[in-house]
Structure 1
Amino acid sequence: MTARPLLFISIGSAYERHRLARGLCTGIHRQFLFQRSHRHGTDRRRRLASSEHSRSLADLLRQLGQHALLRRQGSRARKRREVLLRDLRLSCRSTGRRARRARQGPARSRRLARLGGQHTRGSPRRPSRVATRRPVGGPPADPHARIAEGPARDRARRGESESDDQRSSGLAQRPRRGRTQGQAIMSMAVAVLGLGAMGSRMAARLLAAGHPVTVWNRSPDKAQPLVAQGARVAPTPAAAARDADVVIAMVRDDAASNSVWVDPHDGALIAMKPGAIAIESSTLSPDYVATLARLAEHAGVKLLDAPVSGSRAAADGGQLVFLVGGDAEVFEHASPVLKAMGSAVHHVGPIGHGMLAKLATNALLGIHVTAFAEIVGLLQRHGASAAKVLQAVSATPVWAPVDAYLSGTMLSRDFRPQFPIELIAKDFGYVLDAADGAEHAPTAAAALQVFKRAVEHGLGDLNMTGVVKLYGSN
């Protein structure tokens, strides 16, 4: 028997892998019977479907283990391949048993009829399938019941059990976000503190995902568009955070964050319920985040630093990238909320590491911006067509994905604020503080001087690419 090319897909639970393997072996069994009956006649089916059937399936499994499509996955997929082949072996054995029972069925029924329907063997008979069916008029069986029990069955095979901490916290049994209205959808009460360009868009995405949202902003009039979408407005950060499961802050800098979280009268930390999650999504200094983490722990609150990377358009479309630092279990619990606002959520390490990842991202971006501004100015001073030269450069390996956006906005003179110059200058100040001075980060220090000079020339409200105005014609 010749093995046909097969491509296996990794399936999550052991139950689903077993179903795939059982279906495959059933098809192989039927194909084998057809071939042998065609070759030797139908009267020999029962005799051939015993020993030769088992030997042929064993040969097939060896061929599958050597198949090129399986080898192509490499050593990293070895464990997954071994699990699948194990399931195939188990299913092939069960297929052979079902075939033998099918052959013995008519004779067995006649023997039982002669004995008055009594079971002559010592072991108790398995209940019939008819006895296990739901009664007429009873509730329909859950089609997902056996699939849902797969993880629990896998834990039992490994000798593991659900911990008491998981049961008490509810993290292990939280509902999943469904694709249809008939499925369970996790809904967590969320408070959003700060409704600037990013905070307001993040709150809108949370409302669209079905979360109850309470908002606060220093200027209450900015909350009115969100109120029209179903948000509730609170007069203080403490009032917004009081009944929330998750509190998200998106403010300008360390001072604004300190006022929102730890103000002795209206700060959110003093009002949050024990076990609630505080998420700081502003771009701040790592030293301040470490201090905030200690204060949150003292208040019985779990803190994540989760700054975002992305423009206002990305926030509108739920395409932000979250760089998260903090406890892994808290991260998993907060992930559904973060995924309602972003297309990628990365856990990068303990508390404070999310902020380091964000500062590294902004440092690379800012250095790209200042370098492009100087290059465009250089080309224009020499009378070259910057568009043609940069188009040629884009075909070389040095061209980065963000370079098309940077060069396009500079050449089109489109400086509408997506990431204003004054904000990226603030972030570069945090980069130098984290680096312990300009001597340890001279390139970042030089880029900071470019952004500071742009602010001094009155360009602080423009998009970061507006620094090109320092080097070329206005």
Structure 2
Amino acid sequence: MTTTTHLPAVAVIGAGMMGATLARLLLDGGYTVTVWNRTTEKTVSLVAAGAHAAADPARAIQQAEIVVVCVHDYQATMEIFNYPGVSAALDGKLIIQLTSGSPQEAAGIESWSHQQGAQYIDGAIQAGPSQMGRPDTPILVSGAATAYERALPLLQAFGGGLSWLGEKVSLAAAMDLATLSYIYGTTLGFFHGIRVVESAGLPVDHFGELVAGIAPSFGEFLQHQGNVVHSGDYSISQSPLSISVDAVERILQQAREAGINDEFPRYAASLFRRAAAAGYNNQEVAAVVKVLRSESLQSQ
């Protein structure tokens, strides 16, 4: 005797590049999917692939047990949730929010969802549409354990690299912002590096190749620095802060001599100077976080 696994009906709210990808992955996984998007033209290809299109978000949610939201931001989410009939339709449903937002917004929308009788999970996708559905696709999730357990089979259709960060719903958004801070900091450094390469007459494509080559080892280095901060032991283990102080000063000097925009190295040099002035020169480079901590306290 064979048993069939019940797959809950799903409403996907938002059919942009990522929302459409999520809907397709659910269809591929055998789910019954109803889609809604403000611009109905974006749902045409999904309907052709087997999805149902709803005339409004309330009707989409009424036909589903789980509601996946992937729109521009949390403000857009609440505008949609304020459509007539949506609040009543959410009673008993599970909302999986995969829209980027702040920790404060995640907490606010969870509270609102609970008032409507819905469970709520907040998530952050750490990949592009073309990278979805892979065994290692990273997705950050936070919220009540019972809601996460209910969402887990569906989330696994989106990617295998799931990280449930805990029951505090704001944690996924906070970790998402932390990783974005790393990404954008690295990206700005890379673009500044392009200007250094260009000013020296070197090929930019070769620079990109070199950066790709060092990325894995640099990731290990940063992981070590994170462990240093976590342990609280800043004894020199890989790289003294003093080396970075001098290195960043050289980057700043070169930018000025070559006539390159110096905003990025100027900020970095200022930060490392303050760390040196605080007496952290003979500690691991991770000690620069102490400056960031002290300055955040002073600004409160």
Superposition deviation, residue 397 in structure 1:
7.0
Are residue 311 (structure 1) and residue 131 (structure 2) matched?
A: no
Which of 203, 219, 238 is residue 58 of structure 2 equivalent to?
A: 238
Partner SS, residue 141 of structure 2: strand
Are residue 196 (structure 1) and residue 16 (structure 2) matched?
A: yes
In structure 2, the gaps of 5 or more residues are: 221-294
Superposition deviation, residue 269 in structure 1:
3.5
Amino acid at match of 2:66: V
Which of 248, 257, 282 is residue 99 of structure 2 equivalent to?
A: 282
Partner SS, residue 306 of structure 1: strand
Superposition deviation, residue 264 in structure 1:
5.2
Q: Over the residues paired in the alignment, what is the CA RMSD in angstroms?
A: 2.4
Amino acid at match of 1:288: E
Are residue 224 (structure 1) and residue 224 (structure 2) matched?
A: no
State the TM-score, normalized to the length of structure 2.
Answer: 0.68
Structure 1 partner of 2:193? 375
Superposition deviation, residue 353 in structure 1:
0.9
Partner SS, residue 362 of structure 1: helix
Amino acid at match of 1:380: E
Structure 2 partner of 1:293? 110
Aligned residues: 221
Structure 2 partner of 1:360? 178
Are residue 270 (structure 1) and residue 104 (structure 2) matched?
A: no
Structure 2 partner of 1:419? none
Shift of the 218–359 alpha-carbon distance from structure 1 to 2, 3 Å rule, reads same
State the TM-score, normalized to the length of structure 1.
Answer: 0.44
Superposition deviation, residue 319 in structure 1:
5.7
In structure 1, the gaps of 5 or more residues are: 1-141, 143-181, 402-438, 442-474
Partner SS, residue 132 of structure 2: helix
Q: How does 1:71-220 map to 2 (within 5 A)?
A: 184-220=4-40
Cα pair 2:135 2:161 within 8 Å, conserved: no
Shift of the 264–240 alpha-carbon distance from structure 1 to 2, 3 Å rule, reads closer
Partner SS, residue 270 of structure 1: helix
Shift of the 191–345 alpha-carbon distance from structure 1 to 2, 3 Å rule, reads same
Matches of 2:203 and 2:59, distance apart in 1? 57
Shift of the 277–395 alpha-carbon distance from structure 1 to 2, 3 Å rule, reads closer
Shift of the 390–250 alpha-carbon distance from structure 1 to 2, 3 Å rule, reads closer
Amino acid at match of 1:345: L
Matches of 1:245 and 1:193, distance apart in 2? 13
Partner SS, residue 340 of structure 1: helix
Shift of the 224–366 alpha-carbon distance from structure 1 to 2, 3 Å rule, reads same
Structure 2 partner of 1:247? 67
Which protein has greater RCO, CA pairs closer than 8 Å, 6+ apart?
A: 2
Q: Map Cα deviations across residues 40-91 of structure 1 (whole Å, 9 max, x no partner).
A: xxxxxxxxxxxxxxxxxxxxxxxxxxxxxxxxxxxxxxxxxxxxxxxxxxxx
Cα pair 2:194 2:207 within 8 Å, conserved: no
Matches of 2:56 and 2:26, distance apart in 1? 20
Q: Map Cα deviations across residues 181-206 of structure 1 (whole Å, 9 max, x no partner).
A: x5633411100000011000000000
Q: How does 1:398-413 map to 2 (within 5 A)?
A: 399-400=218-219
Q: Map Cα deviations across residues 64-122 of structure 1 (whole Å, 9 max, x no partner).
A: xxxxxxxxxxxxxxxxxxxxxxxxxxxxxxxxxxxxxxxxxxxxxxxxxxxxxxxxxxx
Shift of the 378–193 alpha-carbon distance from structure 1 to 2, 3 Å rule, reads same
Cα pair 1:243 1:273 within 8 Å, conserved: no
Identity %: 27
Amino acid at match of 2:200: H
Q: Map Cα deviations across residues 339-360 of structure 1 (whole Å, 9 max, x no partner).
A: 0111221110121111111111
